[in-house]
């Protein structure tokens, strides 16, 4: 496990500093040096591989720890699910120029439409505009 506590962010380590970090890491694995502590004061297992213990760049706090591996708490009002298959709002009432000629949706053109081709499209009937 690589310790990010001793090195400045965005700079390379010198050969001596790198060797010190590697020796410290091996001493922790052997049990002769105390384990590294995370932000909460919990000991970090030195046998955890670096790819698991290192936080991704978008979650990195700069402190050692395994918080990025733990499940995040959700707010009590939201369950995390949403109503699938529901429309976002009311559909249009009549055909809009530039919309799909088949279903009437303004999100795509006729060539990209995934609905089955209608006998008479929304452009001509004005019915069931999506």
Instruction: Encode pLDDT of 10-42 as tens digits.
Output: 578 899 999 999 999 999 999 899 988 888 888
115, 128 in Cβ contact below 8 A?
no
Query: Which pair of structure tokens corresponds to residue 45?
Result: 């297992």
The span from the CA of 45 to the CA of 20, in Å, is 19
- Indicate if the alpha-carbon torsion angle 119, 124, 126, 130 is positive or negative: positive
Indicate yes or no: pTM above 0.85: no
Residue recorded with tokens 């909460």: 40
14, 66 in Cβ contact below 8 A?
no
Supply the pLDDT for residue 69: 83
Q: How many Cβ atoms sit within 10 Å of the Cβ of residue 121? A: 19
- Indicate if the alpha-carbon torsion angle 18, 19, 24, 30 is positive or negative: positive
């Amino acid at each position: 496990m690589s310790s990010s506590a001793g090195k400045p962010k965005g700079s390379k380590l010198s050969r001596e500093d790198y060797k010190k970090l590697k020796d410290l890491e091996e001493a922790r694995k052997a049990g002769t040096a105390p384990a590294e502590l995370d932000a909460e004061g919990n000991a970090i297992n030195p046998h955890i591989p670096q790819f698991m213990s290192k936080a991704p760049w978008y979650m990195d706090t700069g402190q050692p720890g395994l918080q990025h591996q733990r499940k995040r708490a959700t707010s009590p009002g939201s369950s995390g699910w949403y109503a699938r298959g529901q429309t976002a709002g009311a559909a249009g009432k009549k055909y809009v120029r530039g919309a799909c000629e088949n279903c009437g949706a303004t999100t795509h053109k006729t060539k990209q439409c995934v609905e089955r081709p209608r006998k008479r499209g929304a452009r001509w009937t004005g019915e069931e505009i999506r």
